[in-house]
Amino acid sequence: MDYSGLDDESLLRLIAFAKTDALSEFYDRYSRLVYSLAVFILDDPESAEEVTQDVFVRIWEKAETYRAEQAKVSTWLTSITRNRSIDVLRRRRVRPEGHRVGWDDAALETLPAADLPNPEDAADKFIQAQRVRVAITTLPHDQRQALALAYFGGYSHSEIAAALGEPLGTVKTRIRMAMQKLRSILQEDRLDV
């Protein structure tokens, strides 16, 4: 059976029936996303490899728990990857002051389109990622910094406030405003398409 023509939800249903070929196709579609996010959060290819393995094994074991009405497949997968990576980060006991991962200029540079099996899919993903990067460049540095610590480090408001030496209310406001602005920009982009 050719699984490449199936949508993500159908693939997950087949994975729930223990179809390894379906998981193989799912891996081809999403391994780059999972591995890239894990590498970015952990800054360590070896740990990212372990996280990627864990994520796909979890998909294999928990595919039947996916609910399409709650989130897109890629959203669900990104959430699992981020949470698993942050778990590893917490075990390392990295404090916010020592956390170097964030949206620096290099990370926000225009990147080549992903070399995925489906060129249209690759181009679409590239355009979406590029929109997000452009939106992030519009954030003030202090908002971007606080948001990066929350998203990539998994730190709480109070941990971020302590690390930055800022009042708790200030950090809460920065993160909230950053998220509101990003959402607004990306929603407008979607309407323009």
Which residue number, 87 or 98, has a Cβ lying nearer to another protein? 87
- Interface residue with another protein, options 10, 79, 118, 137 (CB under 8 A): 79
Match 């950053």 to its residue by tokens.
Answer: 178
The CB-of-51 to another protein minimum distance in angstroms stands at 11
Residues listed for the chain: 193
- Interface residue with another protein, options 9, 45, 90, 170 (CB under 8 A): 45
- Residue 141 in tokens: 């540095």
- Interface residue with another protein, options 42, 51, 81, 94 (CB under 8 A): 81
Neighbours of 167 (CB within 10 A): 10
The CB-of-17 to another protein minimum distance in angstroms stands at 5
The CB-of-19 to another protein minimum distance in angstroms stands at 6
Match 């070929």 to its residue by tokens.
Answer: 21
By CB under 8 A, the count of residues binding another protein is 63
102 to each of 107, 143, 150, how far by Cα in Å? 8, 12, 10
CA distance 151 to 162: 17
Candidates 4-12, 89-97, 137-145, 150-158: pick the segment binding another protein (CB under 8 A): 150-158
